[in-house]
Amino acid sequence: MNKSKKMKLSYVTVLGFLVLGLFSCNNENEILNSAKENQLPEVEVSNLSAWSNGTRSSNGTQDEKVLRFRDLETYRKVLSKLSGMTDEEKTSYFQEIGFDGAFTLLQSANNEADLILDSDDLNDIETKANEYKKKYSSMLSFNPEDQYDLTPYLNFTDKELSITGSTNGYVVIGNSLKKADNAHPTYDDYTVVMTNDIQASRAGAPGPIQPGWKEFKNASLTIKKGKYKSTMTIGRIVNGHSLAISFQTKKKVVLWNKSINTNYSIESLSFNSPQFNYSNKVIGPRSGVCILNLPPEKVGKTFDSIVKNFQSGKCGDARGNQTFKNITVM
């Protein structure tokens, strides 16, 4: 083999080793990066300032804590799990990971308000209510139209982040900071569930519709037990174009009050008109609107309704039964 061919072969060999070396290094880096990503915990508590420069907690005294999820798939999985939990189970979960966010803050405030209304001493209630509102004034909102309403509201409106979010509605997914869709409280933010057919049913997760709730006149039934008052009202969802039932429970001591989340059921709810007859057992949301999947035109402009055994989780053995005549669809 002549000298020229030997040199060419040497160049080819060296080049081959270089290519293999580069491929090996790149492949190794990819493996290391992949391993590093897989080593990230599914959920961890982080500082908001690490993801948004200059963002501080609402009281300005310490950095706001925020949950960081490894990726979107993990976030969806954990959110689905949390959404299926009771409030007590959610509380235990957040205690276990050491996170006090929007859910924990709202639960704490609700529990304090309940304790205030356990008293029958109006002077004591007023003193504690003023202290309570002052304590949470920078972290939560209160109904501006009713000074006696102790119901706390988050300073943002976002169904997902009311569970997973920080106290001001932030969460980190992968390396991206997500904030609440609506940076303002919504005092009439209804939870919406839907019944699927004539059989008793509880719907799955509510959809993204804005309820546009409109109640019908003289179509409400209230039951009471001690300081608790639960009300069901027949009406309609304007945007969803369906008849619906709203549920609400209040804990009251004279003028002082707060909204309560609890369970509801109606053993039999019937709508009757010359053109339509409907009957259903309704399992209501803990607070909000239950859509019946029943277009108003099916029952006509007026109809009768019979409610049998309306119950709520806070009113014990109290039962509500009533016949409504000539309800006008509005």
Q: How far apart are CA 106 and CA 114, in angstroms?
A: 12
Q: Which of 224, 299, 225, 248 is nearest to 269 (CA)?
A: 299
Mean pLDDT for the chain? 83
pLDDT digits (tens, 9 = 90+) for 142-171: 999 999 999 999 999 999 999 999 999 999
| pLDDT (average), residues 11-22 | 46
Task: Out of 55-69, 277-291, 303-317, pick the least confident.
Answer: 55-69
With tokens 């509605």, the residue in question is: 169
Q: How confident is the model at residue 208 (pLDDT cuts 50, 70, 90)?
A: very low
pLDDT in tens, 248-267: 999 999 999 999 999 999 99
User: In this structure, are residues 265 and 307 in contact, taking their beta carbons and an 8 Å threshold?
Assistant: no
Is the pLDDT confidence value at 99 over 70? yes
pLDDT at 238: 82
Q: Which pLDDT tens digit goes with each residue over 262-281?
A: 999 999 999 999 989 989 89
- Whether residue 297 is predicted with pLDDT greater than 50 in this model: the reply is yes
Task: Count the alpha carbons within 13 Å of 86 in the hemisphere toward its beta carbon.
Answer: 5
Alpha carbons within 13 angstroms on the beta-carbon side of residue 23 total 6
The span from the CA of 232 to the CA of 234, in Å, is 7
Q: How far is CA 266 from the centre of its chain?
A: 24
Q: Give yes or no for residue 30 having a pLDDT over 50.
A: no
Lowest mean pLDDT among 24-38, 203-217, 258-272: 24-38
Supply the pLDDT for residue 186. Answer: 73
Q: Check the CA dihedral 88-93-99-102 and report its sign.
A: negative
Q: Which of 31-45, 288-302, 310-324 is predicted least confidently?
A: 31-45
Which residue reads 């391993």 in tokens?
Answer: 35
Helices 87-97 and 102-116, packing angle to 10 deg:
130
DSSP 200: -
Task: Give all strands (DSSP E) within the chain, no chain letters.
Answer: 43-47, 65-69, 141-142, 152-153, 170-173, 176-179, 191-194, 213-225, 228-237, 242-253, 256-260, 264-273, 276-284, 288-291, 302-312, 320-328
* Residue 131: predicted pLDDT: 98
Phi and psi (nearest 5°) for 179?
-120, 165
Of 47-56, 87-96, 138-147, 193-202, give the lowest mean pLDDT range: 193-202
Tell me the domain boundaries of the chain.
44-179, 191-328
Cα 245 from Cα 285, distance rounded (Å): 10
- Please, are residues 234 and 219 in contact by the beta-carbon 8 Å criterion? yes
Confidence (pTM): 0.76
In this predicted structure, what is the pLDDT of residue 221? 98
Is residue 299 classed exposed, middle or buried when 0-12, 13-18 and 19+ CB atoms within 10 A define those classes? buried
The conformational region for residue 218 under phi > 0 = left, psi -120 to 50 = alpha, else beta, is: left
- Name all contacts of 75-84 with Cβ < 8 Å and 24+ positions apart: 75/164, 75/171, 75/173, 78/42, 78/43, 78/164, 79/160, 79/163, 79/164, 82/163, 82/164, 83/163, 83/205
Positive or negative, the Cα torsion across 167, 168, 173, 177?
negative
Top pLDDT among 171 and 201 is at: 171
For residue 139, what pLDDT is reported?
A: 94
